């Protein structure tokens, strides 16, 4: 593994690297609506949407969101339910809640003007180091490196650094190197170019080194296996959970749903009551138990009507849905 220095026999020639990468980006970059603006609100929105979401998936949501909330003022004044409704289908709903909260703070603290200072941006809900750097550089021309997974991979290969980025010392070293490389005259274009290179050429499994504009400056490309950089930690098995929910009908035919706590995963969204199956517990039994624990009702379980697999970022579930008939009397203010 290379050391912590940003110079040495494997370090790229920074001025030549900058020239080559920016020339490639200027002629080859993909056209995207947020690349034609320096409006900090639109840059911020695009960066938030592109977290955990592919560009082709985010594009229609970006356009639709801006039609409904074209600026910080309209977003801050909108009810949260309206924001979540427009976001619906994009996933990771905490992003939408944080956008809404941050818009409110921007109205209160800066009269609706998005701040330029990356450290101030980081004080807002949902804005971390990467998003703050992206907004500061793309919208305000501040020379700060925006370091995401693509940039980590590119920097690791440029220096042939096989450290594991999730380790604190390695992550710090790679961020320092990304800061050394940034072009001070065109920081926004540089950050976009690094991300574009990682997304389209310097890909995780099959990098197109023969088409790379900075191959001459890349120690990883000169190695036998550029995919060895960055290093990887051993993968853990992805946990799986069976979740049983009840479709509980009121006496008037309406179906009971409940809202998740704001601070919980998928907070503020609506769901059928239920929960995880205990080890060796059948879904039918778990549904009956969960409804009794959550709602204080006893139910007759009808045959299952749906079995739906779903994957989240760090675990998977199979959702089992059962129509339920309430046994005995229940409080009328609940049902």
Q: Which residues are part of the catalytic machinery?
A: 47
Instruction: Supply the pTM of this predicted model.
Output: 0.76
- Would you write out the chain's pLDDT as a tens digit for each of its 335 residues? 333 345 554 678 899 999 999 999 999 999 999 999 999 999 999 999 999 899 999 999 999 999 999 999 999 999 999 999 999 999 889 999 999 999 999 999 999 999 999 999 999 999 999 999 999 999 999 999 999 999 999 999 999 999 999 999 999 999 999 999 999 999 999 999 999 999 999 999 999 999 999 999 999 999 989 999 999 887 778 899 999 999 998 878 889 999 988 777 887 889 999 999 999 999 999 999 999 999 999 999 999 999 999 998 789 999 999 999 898 766 555 55
Which of 270, 320, 325 has its CA nearest to residue 300? 325
What separation in angstroms does the CA of 237 have from each of 93, 281, 314, 316? 25, 22, 10, 11
| Residues 194, 150 contacting (CB under 8 angstroms) | yes
């Amino acid at each position: 593994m290379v050391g912590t220095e940003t110079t040495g026999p494997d370090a790229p020639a920074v001025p030549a690297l900058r020239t080559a990468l920016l020339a490639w980006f200027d002629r080859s970059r993909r056209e995207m609506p947020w690349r034609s603006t320096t409006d900090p609100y639109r840059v911020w929105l695009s960066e938030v949407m592109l977290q955990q979401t592919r560009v082709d998936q985010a594009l229609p949501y970006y356009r639709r969101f801006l039609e409904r909330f074209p600026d910080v003022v309209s977003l801050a004044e909108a009810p949260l339910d309206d924001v979540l409704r427009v976001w619906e289908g994009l996933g990771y709903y905490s992003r939408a809640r944080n956008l809404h909260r941050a818009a409110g703070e921007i109205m209160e603290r800066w009269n609706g003007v998005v701040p330029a200072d990356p450290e101030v941006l980081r004080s807002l809900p949902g804005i971390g180091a990467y998003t703050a750097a992206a907004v500061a550089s793309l919208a305000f021309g501040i020379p700060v490196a925006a370091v995401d997974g693509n940039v980590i991979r590119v920097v690791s290969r440029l220096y042939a650094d096989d450290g594991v980025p999730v380790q604190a010392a390695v992550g710090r070293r790679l961020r320092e190197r990304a800061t050394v490389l940034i072009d001070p005259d065109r920081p926004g274009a540089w950050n976009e170019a690094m991300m574009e290179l990682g997304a389209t050429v310097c890909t995780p499994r099959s990098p197109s080194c023969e088409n790379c504009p900075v191959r001459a400056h890349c120690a990883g490309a000169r190695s036998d296996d550029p995919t060895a950089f960055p290093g990887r930690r051993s993968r853990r098995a992805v946990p799986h959970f069976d979740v049983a929910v009840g479709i509980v009908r009121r006496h008037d035919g309406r179906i009971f749903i409940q809202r998740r706590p704001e601070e919980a995963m998928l907070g503020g969204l609506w769901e059928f009551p239920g929960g995880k199956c205990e080890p060796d517990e059948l879904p039918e039994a778990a549904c009956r138990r969960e409804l009794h624990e959550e709602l204080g009702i006893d139910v007759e379980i009808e045959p299952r009507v749906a079995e739906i697999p779903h994957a989240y970022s760090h675990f998977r579930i199979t959702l089992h849905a059962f129509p339920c008939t309430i046994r005995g009397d229940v409080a009328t203010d609940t049902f």
